[in-house]
Structure 1
Amino acid sequence: MNDPNSIMNSDKAPEAVGLYPHARRVGGLLFLSGVGPRKKGSKEIPGVTQNEAGEVVSYDIEAQCHSVFENVRHILEDAGSSWSKLVDVTVFLTNMKDDFATYNKVYAQYFKDNQPCRTTVEVNALPTPIAIELKCVAEV
Structure 2
Amino acid sequence: MSDVIKAGAAPKPVGTYPHARRVGNLLFLSGIGPRDPATNEIAGNDYFADGRVRSYDIATQARSVFANVRAVLEASGAHWEDLVDVTVYLTDMARDFKAYNAIWAEHFPDIDSAPCRTTLGITALPTPIAIELKCTAVVRD
Task: State TM-score, norm by structure 2.
Answer: 0.94
Partner residue of 1:76 out of 73, 90, 93: 73
- 1:46-57 aligned within 5 A: 46-57=43-54
In structure 2, the gaps of 5 or more residues are none
Q: 5+ residue gaps in structure 1?
A: none
Q: Which amino acid aligns with 2:29?
A: L
Match of 2:132 in 1: 133
**Runs of 4 or more above 2 Å deviation:** none
Cross-structure match for 1:115: 114
Count of aligned positions: 137
Aligned pairs (5 A) from 1:1-140: 5-113=2-110, 114-140=113-139
State the alpha-carbon separation in 2 of the partners of residues 92 and 28 from structure 1: 25
- Cα deviation digits, residues 77-120 of structure 1 (max 9, x gap): 11000000000000000000000000000001101243111000
RMSD (Å) for aligned C-alpha atoms: 1.0
Hey, what's the Cα distance between the residues in 1 that align with 2:26 and 2:109? Answer: 22
